[in-house]
Amino acid sequence: MEELKKPIGWPKDEPFPTPTIEEVEKAVQEGEDLIIEMTEELKDKVSGPTPEMLQALIDI
Amino acid sequence: MYILNEPYANLRVLNLQNSADLIRLRFLFSEGFEVDDFTKLENTSYLFGRKIRISLAASRILNLLALQNPRSLGIQSVVIESDYVDRDSNVAYAQLYSRAFKDYPRRTIRLHFFKKQVTSCEELLNEQILQESYVGYCVMSPIHPRTIGRTVLPPPKGDTAWFFVPTQSEFSVNLAGAKLTTEGTAFIQQDGRIAACASAATWMSTIITRRRFGFEVLPHSMSEITKMATKYTFPTIWGGTTPGLRVEQIIWALHEMGYEPLSHVVKDSDVAHELIYNYIESGIPPILIIRLSKGLHAVTAVGHTYDLDGRRKEEIIKGVNSTKIWCPYILIHDDQIGPYLKLRIDPQSVGTNKGPSLFLDETDPFLGDRKKEIKEWYRDAFLLFIIAPLPPRYGMRPEDAAKKGKVILTKAYEIYRSFLTDLGEKMPELPIFRCYFTPSNDFKRRFQPGKVPGLSCELAHWYRGSLYPRYIWVIELCSLKHRNVKDLKKLRIIADVTIDPTSSPYSLDFITLHLPHLFFRMLPKDTNVINALQTPIAFIKDDQPYQPLVRLEMGQAPVIVSP
């Protein structure tokens, strides 16, 4: 970790262990990939209505 | 029955400890009662021994009011207000009944429920005393056969579980000049002519959502909903006999009313339960389209139960790491069966390609002597669609908000793993999440250090000082230790993230992010999530787990029966 801008409240005389930009970039990229993966997994479990379903009559 | 003094010509009082008044109340709820029959209430020889037919919905309301059941609302007296002009009934009258050959009355009867006896007209002058025991009201529609009009009641008490109704709101009425308020949800029954279950479920959902969020949209009656829903379809679509609606028409009606209708076709019971739970926790009652043996039906989910029994690791993993697993039943309003029914969502039957199965809680004490009919009604029931009215332009779906929030929290913990380890913090082995949509001002308002146990004063300032859009999605994180508690006041969360509902569901941007001892935020002009995650804005030394949003004032504690 490298020292960049310190968060407010962090002791002035101590370096804040800021993560490197590469570490954050990697985590963000993995996170975005994970969202796509989770979206794929959900596809069989939930979806928007099909045109036929939109025509279903609710009348009880 | 008390007949109040002459100045109060349209008021009568029923004392429910009196068996004759109980018969009168049942007569008022009967399908055969006509508003013009009001004078017959005084005629005991006409009433006693008379066979009356009561709808399932009316029967359930009577059971919820019943004095004998310790879990009921414990109503002691009912003030009957005749000649009441109800907006919903009036619009239906103008649209259809005023043009009918039969002479339908225009005015309705409204019943006011009190936990204490109202014994004289003097009490009507004391607003404070009336308010202390005021429970709710019910309008009896003027048409024949009788249906239940606008009804507002709080939930009853559970036997072992809490009843939580985050969708409830404050409703006010005027009774002989006294302004009374009640907290509850609204229920209504279809008349079968100008509105069917779909319009009734849409009415119950939107009348609550509008109040809960203060949307700048007018309240709409059931007949107005039916009219808006069918505006863009051929008039013959009704088939000449039924005012039933198609799913598409419900969505049109919500759009016309100014909402952003989100709809979900669900196949998986856990996902369905999670979505319904997310909406309920957001204070938005979703409309559920269900398949019954008789056909398609619409109901409105308004709350859930909360079970204090501890949950095991396997149950949490199966339940998609959500707090919903402590909420085994959803509470629904079914216009045909009544308010606050308990339904469980289970996996669909093996070998079928239907939707998640729905099971009625048969131990519900308010099913009364109509249990068999209600069981039959829900036999082989399963869930098909969920439709929820969100504010316009806030179309992020709960499943997208939940995914995004979980990933942001997980990745932020990874980035700061060594830093957090040095402080004795780490991502829980079994992370548990809760996701809800809320007005940001409500979210900020609850950060009050003196009132929220565990909340650091500094953290409260960071939340209060942050900029948010009007509505946000919130995803909270807690550990099993902080959720498996016997006292709801001891629930704690350790981290949370807020998400802009207009943002992309595929990016990791956030508005505020709180990890133990670290606070991050992205201002409206910040577009670089990497920078935002790399530079926490604040280090909060005294940060500790704090109480999540727990709406104890909106819940009904279980009745503790001594062994």
Q: A56 to chain B, minimum CA–CA distance in Å?
A: 5
Give the angle subtended at the CA of B79 by the CAs of B78 and B82, to the nearest 5°.
130
CA–CA separation, A17 and A7 (whole Å): 10
Using pLDDT thresholds of 50, 70 and 90, give the confidence band for residue B351.
low
Which of B47, B57, B39 has the alpha carbon at shortest distance from B140?
B57
For chain B, the domains span 2-390, 398-553
Is residue B220 scored above 60 in pLDDT? yes
Which of B243, B32, B50, B23 has the alpha carbon at shortest distance from B146?
B32
Q: What is the pLDDT of residue B502?
A: 95
* pLDDT (tens digit per residue) in B422-449: 999 999 999 999 999 999 999 999 999 8
CA B358 to chain CA centroid, Å, is 18
Q: Is A2 helix (H, G, I), strand (E, B) or coil?
A: strand
Please compute the mean of the pLDDT values over residues B217-229 and round it to a whole number: 88
Ranking B69-83, B216-230, B232-246, B307-321 by mean pLDDT, the lowest is B232-246
Residue percentage of chain B with pLDDT more than 90? 72
SS (H, E, C) B209-254: HHHHHCCCCCCCCHHHHHHHHCCCCCHHHHCCCCCCEEHHHHHHHH
Size of interface A-B (CB pairs under 8 A): 153
Q: What is the pLDDT of residue B479?
A: 96
Nearest CB to A34 within list B264, B271, B407: B407
CA–CA separation, B548 and B455 (whole Å): 10
- Within 8 A of B263 by CB-CB distance, chain A residues are 48-49
Top-confidence residue, B5 or B130 = B130
Top-confidence residue, B334 or B352 = B334
The amino acid at B157: K
Q: What are phi and psi of B168, to 5 degrees?
A: -70, 155
Which of B453, B422, B446 has the alpha carbon at shortest distance from B498?
B446
Q: Do B247 and A42 touch (CB under 8 A)?
A: no
Q: What is the pLDDT of residue B55?
A: 94
CA–CA separation, B203 and B242 (whole Å): 18
Using pLDDT thresholds of 50, 70 and 90, give the confidence band for residue B96.
confident
- The owner of tokens 């993995």 is A30
Q: Do A59 and B403 touch (CB under 8 A)?
A: no
B190 and B147 Cβ atoms separated by less than 8 Å: yes
CATH architecture of B2-390: Alpha-Beta Complex (3.90)
The CB density around residue B291, as the number of other CB atoms within 10 Å, is: 18
Q: Is B319 helix (H, G, I), strand (E, B) or coil?
A: coil
B471 and B394 Cβ atoms separated by less than 8 Å: yes
* pLDDT (tens digit per residue) in B298-317: 999 999 999 999 999 998 98
Q: What is the pLDDT of residue B534?
A: 95
Q: What is the pLDDT of residue B392?
A: 87
- Within 8 A of B404 by CB-CB distance, chain A residues are 35
Please compute the mean of the pLDDT values over residues B467-481 and round it to a whole number: 96
Q: What is the pLDDT of residue B45?
A: 81
Give the angle subtended at the CA of B412 by the CAs of B408 and B417, to the nearest 5°.
150
CA distances from A14 to B72, B85, B139, B520 (A): 61, 72, 68, 20
Using pLDDT thresholds of 50, 70 and 90, give the confidence band for residue B95.
confident
Strands B2-3 and B11-15: antiparallel
* pLDDT (tens digit per residue) in B419-429: 999 999 999 99
- Within 8 A of B347 by CB-CB distance, chain A residues are none
Residue B20's contacts (CB-CB under 8 Å, 6 or more residues apart) are B1, B44, B47, B48
Using pLDDT thresholds of 50, 70 and 90, give the confidence band for residue B488.
very high
Please compute the mean of the pLDDT values over residues B106-120 and round it to a whole number: 92
Is residue B561 scored above 70 in pLDDT? no
Please compute the mean of the pLDDT values over residues B71-92 and round it to a whole number: 92
Q: What is the pLDDT of residue B383?
A: 95
The amino acid at B489: K
CA distances from A31 to A24, B42, B144, B411 (A): 10, 72, 60, 6
For the residues of B419-438, what is the DSSP string, one character each?
HHHHTT----SS-EEEEEEE
Walking along chain A (60 residues) 10 residues at a time, the average pLDDT comes out as: 76 92 96 96 89 88
Is residue B32 scored above 80 in pLDDT? yes
Q: Is B472 helix (H, G, I), strand (E, B) or coil?
A: strand
Q: What is the pLDDT of residue B75?
A: 95
Is residue B234 scored above 70 in pLDDT? no
Nearest CB to A35 within list B298, B403, B540: B403
Q: Do A47 and B271 touch (CB under 8 A)?
A: no
Quote the mean pLDDT of chain B.
Answer: 91
Please compute the mean of the pLDDT values over residues B209-238 and round it to a whole number: 80
Please compute the mean of the pLDDT values over residues B515-523 and round it to a whole number: 97
Q: Do A58 and B245 touch (CB under 8 A)?
A: yes
CA–CA separation, B536 and A18 (whole Å): 9
Is residue B240 scored above 60 in pLDDT? no
Nearest CA in chain A to B404: A35
Is residue B357 scored above 60 in pLDDT? yes
CA–CA separation, B534 and A9 (whole Å): 16
Token digits of residue B474: 């919130």
Q: DSSP secondary-structure letter at B546?
A: B
Is residue B349 scored above 80 in pLDDT? no
CA distances from B209 to B62, B180, B444 (A): 26, 21, 20
CA–CA separation, B251 and B257 (whole Å): 10
Is residue B35 scored above 80 in pLDDT? no
CA–CA separation, B73 and B82 (whole Å): 23
B124: alpha, beta or left? (left if phi > 0; alpha if psi -120 to 50):
alpha
CA–CA separation, B356 and B354 (whole Å): 7
* pLDDT (tens digit per residue) in B126-180: 999 999 999 999 999 888 778 999 999 999 988 888 999 999 999 999 999 999 9
Q: Do B415 and A57 touch (CB under 8 A)?
A: no
Helices B87-95 and B222-229, packing angle to 10 deg: 50
Q: Does A33 touch chain B (CB under 8 A)?
A: no
Token digits of residue B235: 């008039």
* pLDDT (tens digit per residue) in B38-59: 778 888 888 888 888 999 999 9
Sign of the CA dihedral running B368, B374, B379, B381: negative
Residue percentage of chain B with pLDDT more than 70? 96
Q: Which residues pair with B358 in a beta bridge?
A: B345
- The owner of tokens 């009606």 is B253
Nearest CB to B244 within list A5, A28, A58: A58
Q: A2 to chain B, minimum CA–CA distance in Å?
A: 10
Which of B146, B124, B131, B118 has the alpha carbon at shortest distance from B57?
B146
- Within 8 A of B243 by CB-CB distance, chain A residues are 59
Is residue B293 scored above 60 in pLDDT? yes
Q: Which residues pair with B299 in a beta bridge?
A: B288
